[in-house]
Amino acid sequence: MSIWFEWIRMRSRLAEVQISLGRLAQAAKTVGRKMIFMEVCGTHTMSAFRSGLHSLLPSNVTLLSGPGCPVCVTAQGDIDLLIQLALRQDRPMTICTYGDMIRVPGRDGSLEKARSCGADIRVIYSALDAVRLAQRLPEREVVLAAVGFETTAPGTAAAISEAKRLGVKNFSALASHKRVLPAMMALLDAGEVRLDGFMCPGHVSAVMGWELYRPIVEKHGMPCVVAGFEEHCMAAALALLAEMVRDGRKELINAYPEVVAPQGNMRAQELMDEVFAVGDVRWRALGTIPGSGMIIRKEYADFDAAVRFSLGMPEDHEPAGCICGKVITGMATPHECKLFGTACTPINPIGPCMVSSEGTCQAWFKYHRVGVKRAGLEACTTRGIA
Amino acid sequence: MIRSAAMETGNRGEGKIVADHTQRIVLAHGGGGQLTDELIERRVLPRLGNNVLNELLDSAILRNIPACDLAMTIDGYVVQPWKFPGGDIGRLSVSGTVNDLAVSGAEPLGLALSFILAEGFAGKDLDEIVNSIAQTAAEAGVKIITGDTKVVGRGQADGIYIVTSGVGRVRRDAKVGPSRVKPGQKLIVNGAVGEHGLAVMLTREMPEVTSVLRTDAAPLNKLIAKVLDAVGTGVTFMRDPTRGGLAGLCSDLAKQSAQRVTLNEVAIPIRSESRHAAEMLGLDPLEIANEGKVVMAVEAEVADRVMEILRNDPLGVAASVIGEIGTEADGRCEILTEIGGRRVLQKPYGEQLPRIC
């Protein structure tokens, strides 16, 4: 029974992909010139590479990965602060982190290396796990490495407000949560990347609502489509984008209505507003973007690791030769980096884009070496972009 | 050998005998004295005893083996938690080692077990594990012929570790290795992949989640023997996709044989529950460990026969032809995706890192 159900589901997904790719090809042919679309979500990056979507796109259509991988956009200074905290000798520290963060290199090593030197680093799946751990380990300071976009921020907010409600004194968060819209706007304002449309992230949209992207359409006249994560959703979104370019329409379309409402998840937004205020934060390689971050409010300062441990502003520096910043902003593809695949590999990552499984470099390294010609490797380079 | 080897721990157990040594492992259980004897005689021999093990000699003697090539293997088992849906460390420690012999074309002659126990480990848990070893060994038709017990202080080990070594007689009709893998051959797996690793990881990381996923840990020697009986050298390569999963195995195969390995994603059996669990944990089912699976490369003309044999066995009902060896001879492994795209399949990094969201 369930095998048949799976089979039928697979066939209908496949049919949907084929129809969308057909529409995309037709629109691409009419448009004629190169079209460049950008997704800003690590899960889109992964899904596109895993399904081989790139190898099926028309030769004049390119899908770039923008600043959507939460690990990749975390400033190196924030990683350094975490490692500093993990290795503190004055009191017993436990750092809770999502799995991807553990191997991201800071200036002197990564959390993984700190762990091998005796630091207590735990991989968690939910921010609330960190609060529970703090309750179980009252003699230790438990710090949550809170990174990510509006998708993980409500979880951090819930953990902080839960810790306050329960009176957990040994829990805090080092928050470097980011807002996706200001980064998208900053990319367009800088004018360095020529784009034909955005594939907007389904998860962020589920929280923030699809009206979030209205300013992009209004200010920059850029077509936007909110897309789900399976390959048929992504193919459909690309077809919609290409058709808008063909018809000269500049609209915001929600192609993920089963999950995304116009105003999003109000409860999650209230929770975030309660704990976080909008502030300026630094992005890896993009520098400080005004209003692009979420800062823990003064009312919750007890749970702010930066306040609690009087952490200063760390220095930021990029590893020599690493062009992750350009990769994140779609201005370069990984193979243009001299380190890619030689000095920088998933086993020995130099830049964050190689560490995270959602990072463009790792996705390229893992999935993208077959069918590169059809994937339009030439089209992906900056020639048509910068 | 259980008794004399245990004496190597020297004086670690002296004066540590505590009142509840019948319920919990104490250091003296590894001290080579009376408590060690008691552990062996009460907990181990009644369950695992046989004519070779019962002699309790320094080495097991395998007598009157006809002239043949011998295969030998060893593997350490440190899984946490020691018990997980569908199995435990005991079942794992037998099937893993038996499978390593079987995929080398060898029939197991005997296994050697070394227990490393942490002080305080519950006696009834040890009994359960030894029972599971006995049951799995019976399934495989293999004897435990020698062993060793060590006890380390509390905190120096996490509960129980088992190291299992195995020796086997290599079948004359088995000629398997990457060098025999040639274009046109088919790749077959005997069932759905990813279940062992997911069952363990769900138990460890998300104990609050209930799932139908069970470990697939099982000895495959009888299944493999049936295939070799029928097609002999028609099987050109066998390996069990344990750590590193199917992705690790196939990328290694491509590299070692210098051939192009092409997998067909649609044909790879994965339960939908595994897909969902992997999604939740941020992992790729193709990179997850299996303990009751074998991947075979077979000559195209015997593929149907092999499939028929596998599908008629309970351990191979979901067998599938998952790919073939291409003509490019470039040492790459690629996968034809569900939607008809192509991508490279690479060996995973090592530690499975869950994705962030």
Evaluate if residue A55 carries a pLDDT over 90: no
Stronger pLDDT, B176 or B6, i.e. the higher one: B176
Token duo for residue B16: 């540590």
Provide the chain A residues 211-240 that lie in CB contact (below 8 A) with chain B: 231-232, 235
Residue A310, classified by CB atoms within 10 Å of its CB into exposed (0-12), middle (13-18) or buried (19+), is exposed
Dump pLDDT digits (tens) for B109-150.
999 999 999 999 999 999 999 999 999 999 999 999 999 999
pLDDT in tens, B85-117: 999 999 999 999 999 999 999 999 999 999 999
CATH superfamily of B178-344: PurM-like C-terminal domain (3.90.650.10)
Residues B182-203 pLDDT 10s? 999 999 999 999 999 999 999 9
Say how far apart CA A80 and CA B6 lie, in whole Å. Answer: 47
E strands along A149-262, which residues? 171-178, 197-201, 224-227, 252-254
Q: What is the ipTM of this complex?
A: 0.74
Task: Indicate the domain borders of chain B.
Answer: 2-60+67-170, 178-344
Residue in B with minimal Cα distance to A70:
B356
Name the CATH superfamily, with its identifier, for domain A69-314.
Answer: HypD, alpha/beta domain 2 (3.40.50.11740)
Higher model confidence: residue A136 or residue B283? Answer: A136
| Global confidence as pTM | 0.82
Chain B: give the shortest CA distance to residue A155, in Å. Answer: 11
Which residues of A are less than 8 Å from B209 in CB distance? none
What pLDDT sits at residue B23? 84
The answer to whether the beta carbons of residues A259 and A209 sit under 8 Å apart is no
Contacts of A10 in chain B (CB under 8 A): 266, 338
Q: Which residue from B334, B341, B346 is facing A51, i.e. has the nearest CB?
A: B341
- Give tens-digit pLDDT for A265-301: 999 999 999 999 999 998 887 788 999 999 999 999 9
Buried b (16+ CB within 10 A) or exposed e, A135-156: eebeeebbbbbbbbbbbbbbbb
Asked whether the beta carbons of residue A42 and residue B344 sit closer than 8 angstroms, the reply is: no
Tally the residues of chain B: 357
Q: Where are the domains of chain A?
A: 69-314
Cα A342 to its chain centre, rounded Å, is: 25
Q: Please determine, for residue A86, whether its predicted confidence score (pLDDT) is greater than 80.
A: yes
| pLDDT over threshold 70, residue A381 | no
Residue numbers of A between 146 and 165 with CB closer than 8 Å to B: 147-148, 151-152
Question: Does the beta-carbon distance from A51 to B338 stay under 8 Å?
Answer: yes
Question: Residue B261: in which H helix or E strand, if any?
Answer: strand B261-264
Which of A:110-149 have CB within 8 Å of B? 123, 125, 147-148
Pairing of strands B87-88, B106-118: unpaired
CATH topology of domain B2-60+67-170: 60s Ribosomal Protein L30; Chain: A; (3.30.1330)
A70 at B interface, C-beta within 8 A: yes
Among B205, B281, B342, select the one facing A371 at the smallest CB separation: B342
User: Chain A: residue nearest B273 by CA?
Assistant: A2
CA–CA distance from A144 to each of A43, A87, A102, A148, A167 (Å)? 22, 15, 12, 12, 16
* pLDDT tens, residue by residue, A314-326: 777 777 888 888 8
Q: Is A53 in CB contact (< 8 Å) with chain B?
A: yes
